[in-house]
Amino acid sequence: LKWILVVGARPNFMKIAPLIRAISAHNEKNGNRIQPFLVHTGQHYDVRMSDAFFRDLQLPEPDVHLGVGSGNHGEQTGKVLIEFEKILLQEQPDLVIVVGDVNSTLACSLAAAKLHIPVAHVEAGLRSFDRAMPEEINRIVTDAISDYLFTPSPDGDEHLLGEGIPKEKIFLVGDIMIDSLLFNLEQAKKTQILASLGLVDMPYALVTLHRPANVDDREIFGRILEGLSDVAKKIPVIFPMHPRTRKQVNTFGLDEAFLFHSALPIDSAEYGNNEGRIPKIHCFEPLGYLDFLQLMSHAKVVLTDSGGIQEETTVLNIPCITLRDSTERPITVTEGTNVLVHDDPQKIVAEVSKILEGRIRQGKCPAIWDGHTAERIVAVLC
């Protein structure tokens, strides 16, 4: 059986790594029954957005790299569609596995479905009900044309059933990102990131921000920044910055709010020398998987507009403040540590203050997020 696994952008890598491990384990018992074939679309291409994750997650070299790069949605999706179809025709796989909700997910599932090749979608059924998010369109279309829909939580099953997807196609298997998190937690502790950022024994807030709805709109970006700058008066704010966000900081001339650290290590005194000046937000280049996991595990609070980080903080029981007005992962709010504040500066500061005063909500991790999602997926597919 030849199975093509697709990665394209940063949040895909930690979702594919556990599947590759589960396939190897299956093959060991069953005489190499499954031949995995890894395709990297090249949607993300910087060392820090891609190669670092291959290294940290011990992913094998891709069998094929499509090298599509950045572009507008139509251009990027179209390029993947054209190039991936060629691979499908050449390789004639028995199955295509796509993960998440990025443009590569949509393009590759579409190419496969049109060639009548079965598609498995891992992380199916998530809905923010906000169609202004490009990911929401990607999720809806991918789910509609997939043959196996693997959901992380029961709300996913409900959404899919509500959209008329037959019950036989839906499998509640848990959250595959958490397989990677639990697998790598010990390894992350061995990194030097806390020492090299001068954060050993230093409480800090960790920020990620990159959604187009937040950073491509000057007013919204400005409001979030106002909130984060106020937070920086209370606690050091650590911000590994996504390339899209970095570009927008330049475009909008917002550099003033930040202190950009290009060389590491830095001394912890750098966080305390704000006397008489407006404290800055401390920015770094994007981090690898293990470094970020370690930084997240030790944060006092995480502020983010990422999807996956809402889930990871829930599992780590670290307070999460989500800088969005909707989430496709509501279980992190109802059961986990997550709270939605979007771009209201006052709310951002109020939520951080609560946490600093020790008023912390204890989260509960969904039982099925147990680190064995990939094994359940391989069992279904076999």
Tell me the closest approach of the beta carbon of residue 231 to ligand UD1, in angstroms: 22
Q: Classify 31 in phi/psi space as left (phi over 0), alpha (psi -120 to 50) or beta.
A: left
Query: Which of 44, 37, 46, 36 is closest to 13 using CA atoms?
Result: 44
| Residue closer to ligand UD1, measured from CB, 140 or 172 | 140
| Residue closer to ligand UD1, measured from CB, 109 or 229 | 109
Other residues' Cβ atoms within 10 Å of the Cβ of residue 362: 8
| Residue closer to ligand UD1, measured from CB, 83 or 101 | 101
Tell me the closest approach of the beta carbon of residue 94 to ligand UD1, in angstroms: 26
- Per-residue tokens: 52: 């670092």
Residues 351, 360: Cα–Cα separation, whole Å: 10
Q: For residue 263, give the H/E element and its range.
A: none
152 DSSP assignment: S
| Residue closer to ligand UD1, measured from CB, 229 or 327 | 327
Tell me the closest approach of the beta carbon of residue 254 to ligand UD1, in angstroms: 17
Query: Which of 161, 249, 205 is closest to 354 using CA atoms?
Result: 205
- Per-residue tokens: 84: 């991936």
- Tally the C-alpha atoms within 13 A of residue 293's C-alpha that lie toward its C-beta: 23
What angle is formed at CA 173 by the lines to CA 38 and CA 339, rounded to 5 degrees? Answer: 100
Query: Which of 314, 311, 245, 310 is closest to 281 using CA atoms?
Result: 245
Tell me the closest approach of the beta carbon of residue 135 to ligand UD1, in angstroms: 5
Residue 276 buriedness (CB in 10 A; 0-12 / 13-18 / 19+): exposed
Tell me the closest approach of the beta carbon of residue 99 to ligand UD1, in angstroms: 12
| Residue closer to ligand UD1, measured from CB, 73 or 86 | 73
| Residue closer to ligand UD1, measured from CB, 50 or 191 | 50
Residue 284: strand pairing partners: 240
Tell me the closest approach of the beta carbon of residue 65 to ligand UD1, in angstroms: 13
Residues 50, 40: Cα–Cα separation, whole Å: 10
Collapse the DSSP code of 40 into the 3-class scheme (helix H, G, I; strand E, B; otherwise coil) and give the result: strand
| Residue closer to ligand UD1, measured from CB, 36 or 240 | 240
What angle is formed at CA 265 by the lines to CA 263 and CA 270, rounded to 5 degrees? Answer: 90
Q: What is the DSSP string of 42-57?
A: -SS-SIIIIIHHHHHT
| Residue closer to ligand UD1, measured from CB, 11 or 198 | 11
Which residues are near ligand UD1 by CB under 6 A? 9-11, 43-46, 49, 70, 101-103, 134-135, 210, 242-244, 247
Tell me the closest approach of the beta carbon of residue 306 to ligand UD1, in angstroms: 6
Out of 26, 121, 159, 210, the active site residue is 210
- The answer to whether 37 and 93 have CB atoms below 8 angstroms apart is yes
Active site residue 210: yes
Tell me the closest approach of the beta carbon of residue 225 to ligand UD1, in angstroms: 18
The one-letter code for the residue type at 202 is M
Q: How many whole angstroms from its chain centre is CA 66?
A: 21
Residues 243, 159: Cα–Cα separation, whole Å: 33
Phi then psi dihedrals of residue 200, to 5 deg: -65, 130
Catalytic (active-site) positions: 210
